[in-house]
Amino acid sequence: MHKIWLIIQREYLTRVRKKSFIIMTFLTPLLLAAFMVIPAWLATISDSEDVVMVLDESGLFADKLESKEDLKIIPIAAGSLEQAKTAYQETDYTALLHIPKLDLDNPEGIRLYSKKNTSLQVKFRLENMLEKEIESQRFMASGIDREMLNKMKANVTMTTVNLSESGERDSNVWVTSGAGIIGAVIIYFFIFLYGVQIMRGVIEEKTNRIVEVMISSVKPFQLMMGKIVGIAGVGLTQFLLWVVLSTIVVGGVQAAFDIKPAPTPIEQMQAGRDLATGEESAQTQEESQANMLSEVSSAISNLNFPLLLGCFLFYFLGGYLLYGSLFGAIGAAVDNETDTQQFMFPITIPLIISFIMSYTVVIQNPDGPVAFWMSIIPFTSPIVMMVRIPFGVPASELLLSMGLLILGFIFTTWIASRIYRVGILMYGKKINYKELSKWLFYRV
């Protein structure tokens, strides 16, 4: 035990003191902060006022197109299109909107002239204004006025509620899936990044030829487990430092620049929808956004954090250990990194499949058969189960999955240690699967 501890220490310390580790650890939160600040900063830049000149030859929209806070409308009293164009050329306005004489039933020929490409947003907003005006004129023509129409409009926001034994809880599909996906993504990358580090470490020991010196002092199994556990420590350290540093950096940036975080996907969705439904519902938009935010935060606070975090740590470590020992075995079986491809393939396939499935099939149907089986089988469960947990998973399924993961880990470690003890002393031999399977039953 003492020797394993020494090995763990060495693996951990040499990696944590590496320049690349220190740089990565401090750079990532800074990049995160940059990702947060730069879009917000860009957003403030593009919020400059758009000015649109309008030449309305139809006379239908006179005074009806109103200036908005960031979209100013300047009507041109009269004149030809050519005159308007010349006038526009002399200004630095955003665009020139030309509305020819229109047939209300078939409004065609409206053009937007600009010096640069106009932003989609300006185009959408103008289109919206015109559409709405044309609509109300049509309503008028058929005897319905705007106010009556507004009374008839309905606005529905649905609140999703989880019914469980512990009572009703507001839930939010976005929050629930988000929590699971984030956990799954972290586990996926952790397994890959640090699994490959185990493999590299083993190859390094082999090519350095230190391995025989080592195993004349310690058992191959101790050497392998020491490396796997030591690197797990490195990963956890990096992860925790990222969480802490990111919180500090992001908090600091927010305080210093007083910037709202860049819009989350939810807000972006919302914004997109608002754009489509138009300007007139600004009030309702704000309202619904407020609703949404309170709904999100209540959904977040309703997530079962202790369970989520506990499961995350379990699957994080379980998945890493399961795959880590296999990566170690690959490192032992080959002489250099270029030979790893053929053995990496069968290991990466279940990881990639479970990653892809988790944000497609699993998230759409977290209780379906695919999600169920993938969250039970140890090779896919660390990623898939993380996605399912926020939606609620029966305790029996969770325990089955965890138990199988532990068994799976013991199984892969057994296989890996058999391959490892033979492989680390084998040089200059191209290994294939047949050879590997023989190693499992070698008497050493």
CB 176 within 8 A of CB 303: yes
Work out whether 444 is an interface residue with another protein (CB under 8 A): yes
Measured distance CA(274)–CA(282) in Å, rounded: 8
Helix and strand element counts for the chain (H, E): 17, 6
CB 318 within 8 A of CB 402: yes
289: Cβ–Cβ under 8 A, 6 or more apart, which residues? 267, 270
Site for another protein in 296-335 (CB under 8 A): none
CB of 295 to another protein, least distance (A): 52
What is the CA angle 45-49-51, rounded to 5? 140
CB of 12 to another protein, least distance (A): 13
CB of 423 to another protein, least distance (A): 13
CA nearest neighbour of 412 among 289, 351, 322 = 322
CB of 168 to another protein, least distance (A): 57
Work out whether 434 is an interface residue with another protein (CB under 8 A): no
Q: What is the dihedral of CA 292, 293, 297, 300, to 10 degrees?
A: 50
Work out whether 268 is an interface residue with another protein (CB under 8 A): no
Three-state DSSP state, 264: coil
Q: Which is nearer to another protein, 99 or 203 (CB)?
A: 203
- DSSP states of 292-324: HHHHHHHHHHHS-HHHHHHHHHHHHHHHHHHHH
Measured distance CA(228)–CA(224) in Å, rounded: 6
Q: Which is nearer to another protein, 198 or 363 (CB)?
A: 198
Q: Which of 14, 44, 121, 294 binds another protein (CB under 8 A)?
A: 14
Q: Which residue(s) pair with 167 in the sheet?
A: 164
Q: Which is nearer to another protein, 10 or 138 (CB)?
A: 10
Instruction: For residue 159, give the DSSP letter.
Output: P
CB 375 within 8 A of CB 366: no
Query: Which run of H or of E encompasses 161?
Result: strand 160-164
Work out whether 440 is an interface residue with another protein (CB under 8 A): no
Q: Which is nearer to another protein, 14 or 89 (CB)?
A: 14
Work out whether 437 is an interface residue with another protein (CB under 8 A): no
Stretch that binds another protein, among 2-10, 40-48, 320-328, 362-370 (CB under 8 A): 2-10
Q: Which is nearer to another protein, 5 or 305 (CB)?
A: 5
Work out whether 429 is an interface residue with another protein (CB under 8 A): no
Q: Lay out the site mask for another protein across 351-390 (x = CB under 8 A, - = otherwise).
A: ----------------------------------------
Count of residues of this chain found to bind another protein when the rule CB under 8 A is applied: 23
CB 320 within 8 A of CB 195: yes
Q: Which of 257, 305, 373, 427 binds another protein (CB under 8 A)?
A: 427
Q: What is the dihedral of CA 422, 423, 424, 425, to 10 degrees?
A: 60
CB 71 within 8 A of CB 278: no
CA nearest neighbour of 21 among 9, 31, 30, 12 = 12
Q: Which is nearer to another protein, 332 or 389 (CB)?
A: 332
Q: Which of 101, 160, 438, 440 binds another protein (CB under 8 A)?
A: 438
Q: Which is nearer to another protein, 74 or 215 (CB)?
A: 215
Work out whether 47 is an interface residue with another protein (CB under 8 A): no
CB 409 within 8 A of CB 399: no
CA nearest neighbour of 31 among 250, 178, 182 = 250
Q: Which is nearer to another protein, 188 or 194 (CB)?
A: 194
CB of 427 to another protein, least distance (A): 7
CB of 323 to another protein, least distance (A): 25
Instruction: For residue 23, give the DSSP letter.
Output: H
Q: Which is nearer to another protein, 234 or 389 (CB)?
A: 234
Work out whether 138 is an interface residue with another protein (CB under 8 A): no
Q: Which is nearer to another protein, 182 or 218 (CB)?
A: 218
Task: Report residue 4: phi and psi, to 5°.
Answer: -55, -40
Site for another protein in 55-74 (CB under 8 A): none
Q: Which of 10, 111, 138, 260 binds another protein (CB under 8 A)?
A: 10
Site for another protein in 182-221 (CB under 8 A): 205, 208-210, 212-218
Q: Which is nearer to another protein, 159 or 208 (CB)?
A: 208
Residues that bind another protein (CB under 8 A): 3, 6-7, 10, 14, 18, 205, 208-210, 212-218, 425, 427, 438, 442-444
